Structure 1
Amino acid sequence: RFQGLNSLDDITAIINTPPIGGYQVTPNQQLLIKNFKVSVKSNCLSLSVFLLFFLSYHVFTQRPQTQPVEEEEVEVEEAEELGHVDTYADYRPSKSKIGISHPDRVVETNTLSSVPPPDITYTLSIPETTINRGLLSALQLEAIIYACQQHEVILQNNQRAGFLIGDGAGVGKGRTVAGIILENNLKGRKKALWFSVSNDLKYDAERDLQDIHAQNIQVHALNKIMFPYGDTATSEGVLFATYSALIGESQAGGQHRTRLKQILDWCEPGFDGVIIFDECHKAKNATSTKMGKAVLDLQNKLPLARVVYASATGASEPKNMIYMSRLGIWGEGTPFRTFDDFLHTIEKRGVGAMEIVAMDMKVSGMYIARQLSFSGVSFRIEEISLDDDFKLVYNKAAKLWAEALVVFMQAADELCMSSRKSLWGQFWSSHQRFFKYLCIAAKVRCLVELAKKELEAGKCVVIGLQSTGEARTREVLDENDGHLDRFVSAAEGVFHSLVLKHFPSEKQRREKGAGNKRKRESCRAFVSLSIYCLSLLSASWLEEMKQGLLNKIAVLGKELPLNTLDELIDKFGGPEQVSEMTGRKGRVVRRSDGSVQYESRAEQGHTIDQINIKEKDRFMNGEKLVAIISEAASSGISLQADRRVKNQRRRVHITLELPWSADRAIQQFGRTHRSNQVTAPEYIFLISELAGERRFASIVAKRLESLGALTHGDRRATESRDLSKYNFENKYGTKALDKITKAILGQIESKVPPPNDYPGGDAMFFTDMKHGMVDVGMLCSQSRLGINIEKDCNITKFLNRILGLEVHKQNSLFQYFTDNFDYLIEKDKKEGKYDMGILDLAPGNDQIYEETQEKFLTAGNPQDGQVILYKVSFFDVFYPCFRSLRRRHKIAGKTSSLSPSGNVAMLTGEKTFQTSDLVLVKLSSEDLTCMHVSCRNGRCKRVEEGQECLMGTRLRQYHMLCGALLRVWKRVSDVVADITNSSILQIVRLKTKDSSKQVGESTR
């Protein structure tokens, strides 16, 4: 019943009227019309069916040019109510009511904002004057309160619980840490330990204490204290040390031989003061490094210490959380007996489990993570095209490396060294660094042009890179007795050094083979019968092979690009115009007369250690408008457009070289985006069109995705937007690599065709790729067995090695790989196997009702951790009916037209109908039953088994587990797996009718 529609004839007229505007009815809609007419004639048209027809007819009508895509019929999983929404929510303390608002807008991921922190039971001792004057903002005071409150908890292993501050760069972790030290000092705990990454940050620690009027708390550098100490002036206060100092040892021996022993003696027995692990991601890989083991050892030897982990990055992967032993996530009294149990469970579940970790830590009161709003910050990727001259040089280099591999293998075979891991480790690491330098050099010209435009627009430029190329520069200096009259090519140096130092030789075989009692393996068929692996070539001929390679490298070196850092400084006008903040000691510069020389970075009155701070001041004062930073400057240096400095131009942060890990990436990006800034920065990521170079973007994207999930509770939180499309280091990348490798070898017939623009067609593509993958060591050629897949063939190796292919070959191979990668993801999405992370249940629907809730207490710390089982329901007016009809009539069409995003768009977009235009109609019994009754001859397996089945109806019911999920994660997964043969539990977020937010695991 609609206004203007008085009979079924009116509806029939609408059906027979052709679409306007050049649109035409698709075959799918013709079938829909046919079925609709049947309903009209039989006088059994329901309101929902008419709505369905009207929307389908007018929304899904296509233009004449569009061809319908035929796809196989798939079983659509009932997750249509799920969808992604905005990632961040404005943050304000929910339970702490003291303090003045933070000076800048701060946000929290929607996921973390959906779970509440525990109630506050701790009473703060910080003076009201400090609070009222805003020396510590409300956000910082909240973190101090929760940290001190968590320190009141004693874990079941009799160690005091710790706290993790995961605030992003610029929120003010330093001042928060200073506040925790002040609070404990006021409680009578006069000693504290503060560990950081650099001795220079001691001055930042002193500044943070002074900023909150706690200058009476002295900061003592560990390397300045004489042991055994007897000076009362250093017996209290903060002992500041670097992580590297933890593993320091004295050659003198004695009672205080190790720094760790000195620290323990300074703390004295029964120490219950604060230990700050600032930038704690530096202590990652605790089981594999001396530094990490020392961090764990210190915590074990001071069981009552109040531990605070502070870092914007926390841990980039779950395995790097091992040093956070005081969080009480694993160990006695928890669901995970050991860290390995915890790691296995989390890695098995994937990113979804990491999201649960962050939420569980916040609910338990051991974690807080806020960050500056990115409003005003722009991100973009600039893909750089290569000119023909550069491609020519690159292709020459690729061919020479392929030739070098053959020569190395011949020499190694003759000397029976072909199985030496150290030899090939050196070869392939040099191979990777060589092409990495070429990738970076390809972007220099574009970067300079881009930067100069930004400078002309009144902005200033910060350039981030990792490699300085200093090692090769110093080698050339040594070769020329300390003199240098030209810019050096870092790429040439890597290649030259490999051949010079690691080319197989008889001397090398004798030195490395001494004492090796293992049975020698035969190297090739033609030497397998040789008992002693005698060389068939003379030592002089081996030397001739080596010299031939060196000569070819020297010829190629004349065309290779120069050291990127030196070239950039030169193109921007020299050191007088550029603030360099790197770890290198010297540089090559152009003098006023045009000549080139090597000079030290040290200046009169300033040591190398102090020069980075001096250069930072020059940039912030506006003396220099271009800054180049490396990892050495990634921690502790602020380069934002601060209101307190002279240079308030907008920062344009250009990443010339993507850092190797998210740890480093977050630190670099945080240098230019901090509190109290006049303008937010612009971020530009430069990526060349070289397919292999996306390897580095892939690493960062993977780390950022993992980091966002673990450190901020939402995997989308620290994705650098565009970079997420380069994330190949996952199970889909591994499967795609396996498929393309087998397809290239002709072992399988791929469902994904190779690039259609490859010269010579498909046959030539597979032939070239087979030879190319042999050239880069991904396939091995054996005289008897032919070409086979190299052992340890993995996605990391693949993305490294394809750097060594010629430009057009690597681009085509990479395209073939990504096509397979995308195909596998789409396939899993259709089959309901794709892990979507945290999704929103019924986004845009504000009529979600909470029907029941059951509360359960869980084991763990704190003891009163709760898991709540909710039953929620809502009505979905349109979509189930359409899906049901689609299946009943087997309407063929693109499944993507029924995707969650399409559903959300229709539900939340413009309203086609007004409620006032509708009246109630009588529904048939069929409309009230599940779709199985209609499409399976009136039989529904679930109903026959005595269960409720709502599939295909408008009523949606879900059960959600919320609260301390980490503690019951494994048990719930096991139970669900037993019942459903799948352990996948979708993590969802919803907002009920009474505006309460929930995040949890969902099941129908």
Structure 2
Amino acid sequence: MGKAVLDLQNKLPLARVVYASATGASEPRNMIYMSRLGIWGEGTPFRTFEDFLHAIEKRGVGAMEIVAMDMKVSGMYIARQLSFSGVTFRIEEIPLDPTFERVYNRAALLWAEALSVFQQAADWIGLESRKSLWGQFWSAHQRFFKYLCIAAKVRRLVELAREELAQDKCVVIGLQSTGEARTREVLDERDGQLDCFVSAAEGVFLSLIQKHFPSTKRKRDRGAGSKRKRRPRGRGAKACRPTYEAAGVIRISDDSSTESDAGLDSDFHSSPESLVDDDVVIVDAIGLPADDRGPLCPPQRDPHGPGILEQVERLKQDLLAKVLVLGRELPVNTLDELIDQLGGPEHVAEMTGRKGRVVSRSDGTVAFESRAEQGLSIDHVNLREKERFMKGEKLVAIISEASSSGVSLQADRRVQNQRRRVHMTLELPWSADRAIQQFGRTHRSNQVSAPEYIFLISELAGERRFASIVAKRLESLGALTHGDRRATESRDLSKYNFENKYGARALSCVLNTILSQMENKVPLPQGYPGGDAAFFRDMKQGLLSVGIGGRESRTGCLDVEKDCSITKFLNRILGLEVHKQNALFQYFSDTFDHLIEVDKKEGKYDMGILDLAPGIEEIYEESQQVFLAPGHPQDGQVIFYKITVDRGLKWEEAYTRSLELTGPHDGFYLSYKARGNKPSCLLAEQNRSNLFTVYKPNIGRQSQLETFDSLCRKFYRVTAEEARELWESNYTLSLKHCSHTSWNRQCRLVQEGKDCVQGLRLRHHYMLCGALLRVWGRIAAVMADVTSSSYLQIVRLKTKDKKKQVGIKIPEGCVSRVLQELQHMDADVKRKRAHGQGFPVPSTALCPLALPCGPGEVLDLTYSPPAQVFPPPSPFTFPLPQDPAPTLLLGTPDASADPATLVHQGCDINFKEVLEDMLRSLNAVPPPEPPGPLGGGAGVPGGGGGPERQSVIQFSPPFPNS
């Protein structure tokens, strides 16, 4: 689609283009078709789209915010959405039932055994290319455990739904997959008869074994439809490979880590043509003790012995039997169970794409029934169900991806059912675009009340994988569309976003620690059964059981796979037992947090747009300087601000706050130690975590919290009357004097002629606002030269007079260099303007003409070019009429002011350009008759002096009477 739009724009170079999108661009790469924006190309900071993409992705979500803001500042972009006022969001973390946990653990062990059995069968029959095999295996693995994750939340969702219904609300449940495929398979096997609910998870496992288990038939099927590559001489059949006695590592390069639902719910179509080593599953000897190998090591058999095919078939049948036994305990289809638990089809409006469902009848029996109603297609059935929900006939609606677009389920003023909607997300979609589509079903215009959103996430660590994807996309979507990553629902899911550079570094660190025994400063999770040694042993075995591991190195340790991504890691750990995956994920999460904390201390962490002085209202613009910035198709400007922040807390405000405090230890305190014959004064407020927030007269709220013990060691509590004099004295003195002067009556730095800001109320900050994208590279280069870091912090503020500013914070040490760079840039732009190409304006065109504009008269200075195309004119050589009769230029004002001052006076039209344009047309098409009275001269609409020109807009007189 993007290529088609690009081609269309290339074929219509003169066309005006408007880009309109319902959901925006969730990633910068999706902007590739927006070539007319002027963000990249000749005359811009980025020569190609690839340069732009690299720069933005390198700097993360913060840079995306800059892109959106720069486009808005330039007037080329507008993004509007419904207000989220009144909308509530919450995460409901659901604990696992002990019975469910036992079933999950059994399933994890069986999948580990299946991995080993698939590997052994492939070796025995000499399967050459295994890319398709392992793609199918890991795709099924992911789908199986995703179904279990969803099933773990059904019981709690039903409880929540009943609670909300009891409060006169109605419920909308969002999911993605319906599990209909497995139901159809069982229906076909049983000749259209069903007497029980079907397990979608069991169907995924059985289908994998029945359709994709390694066999000679699989080899024949492959050879029938494609050419076989001949094996080079000297390379024996893979069945004749050494039978690695100590099988422990399974190196699998291919992974079905697709994020699309298509990859989850459909077969994995891959052409297994390649014979490169990466396509082969290699089992290496790693020297693990026998008890470490777990289910990975079934007894090895001689691949050259008799009855190989019979043995492979026996492996398959044994595995099928074990799956069938496990299937008796696996949860049934989520959608069918939800409908059954919430009252059946009579009380639940189902809007999905499936054609039939399994229902429980009044006599206790279970049967399959079609969703179709007489004379209606499935689409019309969904519309009928929507009408029943909106009329209040049904108070629960279940929607899938099939009904996530174009259906309005909000509390509309025009419908009977105006109960508040509670939108519960049982299954998060992989895409932010799809998530927003589904969230938007219940939050639309003309609604009586805003919806409540509840995201249900189980305690299974592996499910963070699904929340991580949506969190990442929602963050970037909010940054690109609104210039603020907090503009979307990601504020509730952002803690699950691990798909960034910190996630990759944390994963590498964790895998190196567990597999390669490298040192990690992050402590291990507390309370793991068996201690640290058991943790490392279990995690090592667990990673190997889900195919994460490399070859054994010379030191006896395992090398980490080079292609193990966050997506792959979070997919695979779904296959670990619950306590193992939670412990491993906790270790990964702790490492992730540690790396972020380190970068924060070193000033390298991108925190997006920060409030410059949160909670402070005394913010003033002290000065500003405007600089021109180069751009295409037009230049922009940036403004350098000096901001003054008064951090002090007046006594009146402190006293008012103290009256609102209710804690037993809240109030004013004085220090035991006196400095300058005066103790220090503060106001302490206890918060929920039993820590104290401290307020001081000179710096206001202190960012660092204090414990009660620390507070009592240095301070003692006093009344407000005792604290008042010291508070006011400190507040007044700190306006111009640092703390050293207050304590010692002098400051060494001040005596040396330097500035000291220790304890001062006033702080100065420097900001660069405006068309930031055009100067981003220049400022980053200056910052890197001065501070050795090219990181630019974006800040926002609101001044005392209610002005809002968003821009780059410039450290004080970089101010002089940044100003020099901006001055050079400004001079370059002005120089190019002075020597720019274009038609020179005749001096006579700038002479005042006697056409004064009377009060109430209309100046028509708009111009539409004639139908015929003018050839490029030569420089103007003709003189304008000497007699300034009212015949030309439609009421040019009688003013001696410099025309440059008329460019933007009173309205947004450049009069100089209008004059040039009209003179150019007059020079190219000379009038057939001499100018006549006003209304009949050349260039006058409706006159005989040339083609008729239609006025588009009329402006009131923009000039003062003079």
Equivalent residues in 2 for 1:35-434, closer than 5 Å: 291-303=1-13, 307-417=17-127, 420-434=130-144
Q: Aligned with 2:808: secondary structure?
A: strand
Residue 997 in structure 1 maps to residue 804 in structure 2? yes
**Could you tell me how far 1:564 is from its partner in structure 2?**
0.6
What's the counterpart of residue 458 of structure 1?
168
* Alpha-carbon distance in 2 for matches of 1:867, 1:922: 34
Q: Distance in 2 between matches of 1:305 and 1:743?
A: 58
- Higher alpha-carbon deviation: 969-978 or 662-671: 969-978
Would the alpha carbon gap of residues 446 and 926 (structure 1) be closer, same or farther in structure 2, given more than 3 Å must change? closer
1:824 equivalent to 2:595? Answer: yes
Contact kept? 1:522, 1:528, Cα under 8 Å: no
**Aligned counterpart in structure 1 of residue 205 of structure 2, from 492, 495, 502:** 495
Q: Counterpart of 1:799?
A: 570
Q: Does 1:552 align with 2:325?
A: no
Q: CA deviation at 1:307?
A: 4.2
Could you report, residue by residue, the CA deviation over 1:484-536 in whole angstroms, capped at 9, with x for unpaired residues?
Answer: 3432211011111111111122333455474335767997971599xx99954
Contact 1:379 1:721 in 2 (8 A): no
For residue 713 of structure 1, report the CA deviation from its aligned partner: 1.2
Task: Kindly name which structure, 1 or 2, has the bigger radius of gyration based on alpha carbons.
Answer: 2
User: Which amino acid is the alignment partner of residue 412 of structure 2?
Assistant: D
- Structure 1 stretch displaced more, 441-450 or 778-787: 778-787
Are the structure 2 counterparts of residues 590 and 845 from structure 1 closer, same or farther at C-alpha, using a change threshold of 3 Å?
closer
Instruction: Identify if the C-alpha distance between structure 1 residues 967 and 948 changes in structure 2 by more than 3 Å, giving closer, same or farther.
Output: farther
Task: Specify the SS of the correspondent of 1:640.
Answer: coil
| Preserved contact between residue 364 and residue 865 of structure 1 (Cα < 8 Å) | yes
Deviations 1:890-931 (A, max 9, x none): xxxxxx999999976359999975775569669999868999
1:628 matched to 2:383: no
Alignment of 1:348-747 (within 5 A): 348-417=58-127, 420-509=130-219, 511-512=221-222, 514-517=227-230, 526=242, 536=304, 538-745=308-515, 747=517
Q: Is the 8 A contact 1:843 1:904 kept in 2?
A: no
What are the equivalent positions in structure 2 for 1:910-989 lying under 5 Å apart? Answer: 913=724, 955-989=762-796
Shift of residue 362, structure 1, vs aligned partner: 1.1
Question: Which residue is 2:839 aligned to?
Answer: none
| 8 Å Cα contact 1:928-1:953 kept in structure 2 | no
Distance 1:583 1:858, change over 3 A: farther
Q: Kindly tell me: are residues 349 and 472 of structure 1, through their superposed partners in 2, closer, same or farther at Cα, counting changes over 3 Å?
A: same
Q: Distance in 2 between matches of 1:489 and 1:761?
A: 37
In 2, Cα distance between equivalents of 1:898 and 1:832: 26
- SS of aligned partner of 2:397: strand
Q: Kindly tell me: are residues 596 and 297 of structure 1, through their superposed partners in 2, closer, same or farther at Cα, counting changes over 3 Å?
A: farther
SS at match of 2:110: helix
Which letter does structure 1 place at the counterpart of 2:501? K
CA distance in 1 between partners of 2:435 and 2:735 (Å) = 59
In structure 2, C-alpha distance between the alignment counterparts of 1:521 and 1:876, rounded to whole Å: 78
The corresponding residue for 1:842 is 613
Q: In 2, distance between residues paired with 1:319 and 1:919? A: 52
Instruction: Tell me by how many angstroms 1:962 deviates.
Output: 1.0
Cα separation, 2, equivalents of 1:629 and 1:827? 43
Partner in structure 2 of residue 139 of structure 1: none
- Are 2:628 and 1:857 equivalent residues in the alignment? yes
Distance in 2 of aligned mates of 1:317 and 1:637: 26
Q: Distance in 2 between matches of 1:837 and 1:983?
A: 15
Whether the 8 Å contact between 2:738 and 2:757 is mirrored in structure 1 is no
Post-superposition CA distance 1:739-773 (Å, at most 9, x none)? 22222235222222222211111111111111011
Q: Comparing both chains, which one has the higher relative contact order based on Cα–Cα distances under 8 Å and sequence gaps of 6 or more?
A: 1
**Cα displacement (A) at 1:958:** 3.0
Q: CA contact under 8 A between 2:26 and 2:433: conserved in structure 1?
A: yes
Specify whether residues 922 and 549 from structure 1 end up closer, same or farther in structure 2 by C-alpha distance, changes over 3 A only.
Answer: closer
Distance in 1 of aligned mates of 2:525 and 2:78: 48
Using the TM superposition, name which of 719-728 and 897-906 deviates more: 897-906
The equivalent position to 2:548 in structure 1, one of 761, 768, 778, is: 778
Q: SS where residue 789 of structure 1 aligns?
A: coil
Name the CA shift for 1:305/1:434 in 2 (closer, same or farther; >3 Å).
farther
- 1:120-167 CA-partner distances (Å, limit 9, x unpaired): xxxxxxxxxxxxxxxxxxxxxxxxxxxxxxxxxxxxxxxxxxxxxxxx
- Once residues 349 and 511 of structure 1 are traced to their aligned partners in structure 2, the CA distance between those partners, rounded to angstroms, is 48
Which residue number corresponds to residue 876 of structure 2? Answer: none
Say whether the 8 Å CA contact 1:579–1:627 is kept in structure 2. Answer: yes
Post-superposition shift, 1:471?
A: 1.8
Of 665-674 and 841-850, the range deviating more from structure 2: 841-850
Structure 2 distance, partners of 1:655, 1:927, is: 54
String of CA shifts for 1:11-58, please: whole Å, max 9, x gaps: xxxxxxxxxxxxxxxxxxxxxxxxxxxxxxxxxxxxxxxxxxxxxxxx
Q: Residue 299 of structure 1: CA displacement?
A: 4.2
Letter in 2 for 1:584: R
CA deviations over 1:576-597 (Å, ceiling 9, x no partner): 2211111222222234444333
Q: Contact 2:693 / 2:704 at 8 angstroms: preserved in 1?
A: no
Q: Conserved in 2, the CA contact under 8 Å of 1:752 and 1:819?
A: yes
Match of 2:582 in 1: 811
C-alpha contact 1:380 1:722 (8 A) present in aligned 2? yes
Distance in 2 between the 1:411 and 1:951 partners? 73
- Gapped runs of 5+ residues in structure 2? 246-276, 281-301, 651-670, 676-688, 706-718, 812-962
Moved more, 607-616 or 308-317: 308-317
Q: Which whole-Å CA distance do the structure 2 matches of 1:827 and 1:338 have between them?
A: 35
Q: Deviations over 1:169-212 (max 9, x none)?
A: xxxxxxxxxxxxxxxxxxxxxxxxxxxxxxxxxxxxxxxxxxxx
Residue 164 of structure 1 is matched in structure 2 by none
Query: Contact 1:364–1:861 (CA<8 Å) still a contact in 2?
Result: no
Query: Structure 1's 544 and 386: CA in aligned 2 closer, same or farther, altered over 3 A?
Result: same
Q: How far did residue 724 of structure 1 move?
A: 2.1
Whether the aligned pair in 2 keeps the contact of 1:777 and 1:790 (CA below 8 Å) is no
| Cα distance change of structure 1 residues 948 and 599 upon mapping to structure 2, 3 Å threshold | same
TM-score of the aligned structures, taking structure 1 as reference length: 0.63
Amino acid in structure 2 at the alignment position of 1:318? P
Q: Distance in 2 between matches of 1:922 and 1:298?
A: 64
Most deviating of 590-599 and 498-507:
590-599
CA apart distance, 1:677:
1.4
Q: Deviations over 1:371-411 (max 9, x none)?
A: 33333222222221222211111111000000001111122
Aligned pair in 2 of structure 1 residues 787, 843: CA closer, same or farther (>3 Å)?
closer
User: Matches of 1:789 and 1:522 in 2, distance apart?
Assistant: 28
Deviation at 1:625, TM superposition (A): 1.0
Alignment correspondent of 2:893 = none
Q: Which amino acid aligns with 2:373?
A: E
Cα distance in 2, alignment partners of residues 336 and 930 from structure 1: 52
**Superimposed CA distance per residue, residues 690-726 of structure 1 (whole angstroms, 9 cap, x where no aligned partner):** 1111221122222222222111111122134432222
CA 1:874–1:734 in structure 2 vs 1: closer, same or farther (change >3 Å)? same
